[in-house]
Amino acid sequence: MNTSQETMLLKTENVTACMLIIGNEVLSGRTQDKNLSFLSTCLGEIGVDMREARIIPDDPATIIDTLNACRARFDYVFTTGGIGPTHDDITADCVAEAFDVPLEYHPEAMARLTAHYEAMGAEFNEARQRMARIPRGGGLIDNPVSTAPGFVIENVYVMAGVPKIMQAMVENVLPTLKGGEQLASITVTAQVPEGQIADEMGALQGEYDDINLGLYPFYGPQGAGVSVVARSRDKPRLAEVEEKIRAYFVRIDAPLVERPAK
């Protein structure tokens, strides 16, 4: 199997998350998302599994429908993008509509932004005031970088798209999340084409259906190779799988190697 075909859904129950990356600029390629890897890593460290990520346009119907579907399916939903001061920053409006609550100027958000712009000697105009609008019932997510807050409502966390700001918001959100047991993983890399080992690895996956096996091919100076990655929360079972993978590679005379740097 190739990387795109790897089964990513975990077979063990745990706390789950989904990320919605909102923005026409990401879909068009003008902006490259840098937030998914950061968030997935942070969540993994507290035992929250990122099960799905979607990139969606600045379209109200799409945002509302996607948000409602995901918040019903996952323990946590994290959105990035669309909470700035411009006319096309519509995420807050869509979240309010998804929850069927009014979008209101939050007193604390207004106070923070008023003080921020006064200190800058800048006008706190109507466009900037848009960043203080929060769906009724929502709480603020602190933004130590540029002041304008994100917000949380039920299991939905709405954050900025700018990586530096988003990452600062995540640092404030993480202590509030309920995590689970951290997922462990092992990697065994060998100089052998993935097609040569696919049947054996498929059989091993069937034998250990509680373990998630992924095959990651590469091409290096010595030709085709593959990294076999196993993931599980059952460390003894994971050790068994690693031993069998290594023994199989020895049996077929596939040398173990370091994966070449990209």
- DSSP state string for 64-130: HHHHHHHHHHSSEEEEES--SSSTT--HHHHHHHHHT--EEE-HHHHHHHHHHHHHHT----HHHHG
pLDDT at residue 3 in the model:
38
> Is the pLDDT assigned to residue 12 strictly greater than 80?
no
What's the mean pLDDT when you consider all of the chain? 93
**Per-residue pLDDT tens over the stretch 30-84:** 999 999 999 999 999 999 999 999 999 999 999 999 999 999 999 999 999 999 9
Of 171, 176, 119, the C-alpha closest to 143 is 171
Residue type at 184? A
The DSSP bridge pattern shows strands 76-80 and 15-22 to be: parallel
**Per-residue pLDDT tens over the stretch 141-161:** 999 999 999 999 999 999 999
Q: How long is the chain? A: 262
> Is the pLDDT assigned to residue 4 strictly greater than 70?
no
Tell whether pTM > 0.75: yes
pLDDT at residue 1 in the model:
39
Of 179, 188, 185, 175, the C-alpha closest to 212 is 185
Q: Which domains does the chain have, with CATH numbers?
A: 3-176 (3.40.980.10), 185-251 (3.30.70)
Higher pLDDT, 6 or 60: 60
**Per-residue pLDDT tens over the stretch 75-133:** 999 999 999 999 999 999 999 999 999 999 999 999 999 999 999 999 999 999 999 99
